[in-house]
Structure 1
Amino acid sequence: MNGLSAILPTGMISPLIRDMTGYTTLLFDLDGTLTDSTEGIIKCLVNAITQMGFAVPEDSNKFLGPPIRQSFAEFCGMNEEQVNQAVKIFRERYSTVGLFENRVYEGVSEMLDRLKKGGKRLMVATSKPQVYAIRIFDRFGLSQFFEFVGGAELDGSRDYKDEVIEYVLAQRGITDRSKVLMIGDRRQDVFGAHKTGIKCMGILWGFGSIEELKEAGADFIAETPDEAADMLLGQ
């Protein structure tokens, strides 16, 4: 295990691994953390943006992570009415084709299996609509690992990560936040976790970079699914 595996509060990388076995409830992000959904999301985004008559941003990967409504407004300059129409077009393709243009990252199933067998409670907190997340989990064989899958609503409510985290904790009756850890690949995961008073592990096999995660204030960083399991199980 190397020095990237733990980060001090100042953001300096430490060679020492703090004891993480006390985190008994693990909340996982979906896109960029459990599955690589790049193909489906980008194809649906390009289709929606083009149909709306807007220019497709050169760096389309910046759409990967933030809530889709926020991305259309921020990166394309759409107003509220345009955002609603773009989301409708996006979902027409995504709900039938795009959500399955997806793959589970190598090592993720093994990581989840180790964590569950190690006594961890595994849940999902994603800004993707919950109905889509459940379908993805069922298709790719991930449902077996999770006690609860929480996500956004189709009407745009509960879009932001802190809202989803609060929803998951409330649904499962979890009150001791000192034992809860958010695991994700983007700054939104870190910000959402900290806003709700929980720590966040940033992971490097997804869409985000170590620079992004350090700048956001990730409390821990793991390079691979195997390393994440080692850290969380104290191995």
Structure 2
Amino acid sequence: MLCLFDLDGTLIDSEPGITACIRYAFDKLGVPAPADLRPWIGPPLRHGFAPLLDHDAGRVEAAVDYYHERFATLGWREHAVYPGIATAIERLQAAGHTLAVVTSKPERHARPIVEHLPFGNVFARLYGPDPSSPHSEKASMIAAALADFGASPGQAAMIGDRRFDIEGARANRVRGIGVLWGFGSREELELAGAQALARDPGHLADLLAA
């Protein structure tokens, strides 16, 4: 099976780095940052910045640039691997599954993170959106992965913690598995149409083995 993994909220807890970079961007623009930044993790950055910057395209792009400025030097290191994920990944690899990463994070930021993961070398490919895109692009990236690996929808699964992962899976008729340890809620994943929900990484490995 082709197992496609989201990065933030699925493989790693990236909240410290992401929220610090969002606050940095707001600080550079002289705008107070929202108190709760967890909902920002997963969707494209422009979704969060636009309404708080009066949908001013120039200021939104400046905020995104400031975010990337800090992330490139500090933010990408500020994360932790979720407990149990390494063991689950090892189980899937040993079972003969093909693994890849499909993330909303631009490839230039995602690649150093994946390469520094203790199990990063097991991922055959990394898919990230164009940095200038205001959209999630999960659906198109999943489609690209199916084509690259010559996999049919029935031979693949998308694993993630937000609705964007599940919606991308459904758009490609791929099995969408939601994880409950990330930044999305059970309700969000169920409403998006997740075919299964994993309560922990061990349970996820069991679901993919079934």
Fold shared by both chains (TM-score > 0.5): yes
1:40 aligns with 2:17: yes
Partner of 2:162 in structure 1? 186
Whether the 8 Å CA contact 2:44–2:134 is kept in 1: the answer is: no
Quote the RMSD (CA, aligned, Å).
1.6
Identity of aligned residues (%): 38
1:168 aligns with 2:136: no
User: For residues 135 and 120 of structure 2, what CA distance do their matches in structure 1 show?
Assistant: 22
Deviation, 1:78, is 3.4
- The secondary structure found in structure 2 opposite 1:26 is strand
Q: 1:214 aligns with which of 175, 190, 197?
A: 190
1:117 aligns with 2:79: no
Partner of 1:87 in structure 2? 64
Distance 1:71 1:109, change over 3 A: same
User: For residues 121 and 128 of structure 1, what CA distance do their matches in structure 2 show?
Assistant: 21
Task: Please give the per-residue CA displacement for 1:188-219, whole angstroms capped at 9, x wherever unaligned.
Answer: 11111112221200001111121211122111
Q: 2:77 aligns with which of 100, 112, 119?
A: 100
1:151 aligns with 2:128: yes
Distance 1:75 1:222, change over 3 A: farther
Task: Please give the per-residue CA displacement for 1:7-38, whole angstroms capped at 9, x wherever unaligned.
Answer: xxxxxxxxxxxxxxxxx111100000000000
User: For residues 126 and 142 of structure 1, what CA distance do their matches in structure 2 show?
Assistant: 17
Partner of 2:153 in structure 1? 177
- The secondary structure found in structure 1 opposite 2:157 is strand
1:232 aligns with 2:208: yes
Residue identity matched to 1:150: Y
Whether the 8 Å CA contact 1:49–1:55 is kept in 2: the answer is: yes
Partner of 1:28 in structure 2? 5
State TM-score, norm by structure 2: 0.93
User: For residues 48 and 190 of structure 2, what CA distance do their matches in structure 1 show?
Assistant: 22
State TM-score, norm by structure 1: 0.84
Whether the 8 Å CA contact 2:53–2:59 is kept in 1: the answer is: no
User: For residues 77 and 154 of structure 1, what CA distance do their matches in structure 2 show?
Assistant: 21
Distance 1:157 1:75, change over 3 A: closer
Q: Relative to total residues, which structure has the larger helix share, 1 or 2?
A: 2
Q: Which runs of 5+ in 1 are unaligned?
A: 1-23
Task: Please give the per-residue CA displacement for 1:81-134, whole angstroms capped at 9, x wherever unaligned.
Answer: 111111111011000100110111111011001001101111111010112211
- The secondary structure found in structure 2 opposite 1:82 is helix
Residue identity matched to 1:117: A
Number of residue pairs aligned between Structure 1 and Structure 2: 210
Whether the 8 Å CA contact 1:57–1:76 is kept in 2: the answer is: no
Q: Which runs of 5+ in 2 are unaligned?
A: none
Deviation, 1:59, is 2.0
User: For residues 116 and 223 of structure 1, what CA distance do their matches in structure 2 show?
Assistant: 20
Deviation, 1:74, is 4.1
